[in-house]
């Protein structure tokens, strides 16, 4: 049985899930999306993801032709139709079919589609032994150009940095913002631990307000740890005791080397492990 895709109110076979080549999502990357996880048949932080999708749409003046409740139901329906208890769900809203010009008012009806599939972002051994990352020369989008809090279909900024990571023989790259501070990685938020304090760049550094990031900060505080949102430099990463990345697809992945420099003792740290275990427990609840 082929997988089912939710497309504008109907569940269709994957082979029949098509949008027009005149869709502004295809022509200009004009649209928004969310990546969502399900664990054991339950969608994790569904309400927060749907709300962020609608916030992103509002930020680009795109009216989603359904309510947040209807979107949440459609996401659950798509997961159930695919029979995947542990899955990755992608909800996408494009501007819709229009003319070859930029004018979004010429796109009368947005397209909404939801894909449900399996995902493995990193091999299992990297969760056990840690990931190596590099700093990208590609700067994170200036927040006043395209605000990274908008989860838009225009991901070229991230892809260019991802190419740098792959060229360096790694899977992830740290992106700096226009001020030279650490922003985030190409698809994940970043944390460091120094003297048992957990640090992460603030939203003002020009980052996506990650849902897994928020969850990890809450877990760390519940564990009695000090959590600080502060501007970080590359030097802060180099001298950190621990470093890890968070994201819906990645969950919590330890980083053991940055720009060929070992972090701490070059192995995943104890606080990273405790936070990752607590996060996994939470997703299973």
Is residue 151 annotated as part of the catalytic site, yes or no?
yes
**Which one of 4, 151, 162, 260 is the catalytic residue?**
151
What's the rounded Cα separation, in Å, for the pair 280 and 282?
5
Torsion of CA 213, 214, 217, 218, to 10 degrees: -150
Look at strands 31-39 and 42-43 and give their pairing: antiparallel
DSSP category for residue 23: B
> 232-235: which pairs have CB atoms within 8 A and are 24 or more residues apart?
232/181, 232/182, 232/192, 232/199, 232/201, 233/180, 233/181, 233/182, 234/135, 234/174, 234/176, 234/182, 234/258, 234/259
Look at strands 251-258 and 242-247 and give their pairing: antiparallel
The helix/strand/coil state of 182 is strand
- Closest to 187 in 3D by CA, of 219, 155, 216: 155
What are the catalytic residues? 151
């Amino acid at each position: 049985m082929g997988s089912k895709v939710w497309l504008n109110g109907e569940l269709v076979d994957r082979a029949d899930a098509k949008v027009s080549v005149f869709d502004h999502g295809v022509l200009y990357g004009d649209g928004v999306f969310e990546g969502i996880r399900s664990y054991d048949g339950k969608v994790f932080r569904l309400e927060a993801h749907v709300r962020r999708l609608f916030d992103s749409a509002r930020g680009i003046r795109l009216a989603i032709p359904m309510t947040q409740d209807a979107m949440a139901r459609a996401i659950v329906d798509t997961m159930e139709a695919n029979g995947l208890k542990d899955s990755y769900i992608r909800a996408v809203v494009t501007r819709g079919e229009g003319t070859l010009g930029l004018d979004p008012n010429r796109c009368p009806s947005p397209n909404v589609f939801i894909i449900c599939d399996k995902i493995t972002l990193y091999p299992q051994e990297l969760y056990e032994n840690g990931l190596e990352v590099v700093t990208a020369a590609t700067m994170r989008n200036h927040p006043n150009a395209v605000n990274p809090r908008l989860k838009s279909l225009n991901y070229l900024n991230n892809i260019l940095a991802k190419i740098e990571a792959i060229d360096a023989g790694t899977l992830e790259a740290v992106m700096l913002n226009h001020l030279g501070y650490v922003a985030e990685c190409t698809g994940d938020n970043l944390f460091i631990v120094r003297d048992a304090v957990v640090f992460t760049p603030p939203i003002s550094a020009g980052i996506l307000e990650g849902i897994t990031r928020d969850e990890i900060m809450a877990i760390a505080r519940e564990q009695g740890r000090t959590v600080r949102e502060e501007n970080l430099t590359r030097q802060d990463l180099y001298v950190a005791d621990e470093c890890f990345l968070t994201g819906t697809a990645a969950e919590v992945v330890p980083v053991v080397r940055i720009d060929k420099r070992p972090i701490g003792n070059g192995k995943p740290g104890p606080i990273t492990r405790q936070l990752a275990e607590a996060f996994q427990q939470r997703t299973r609840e």
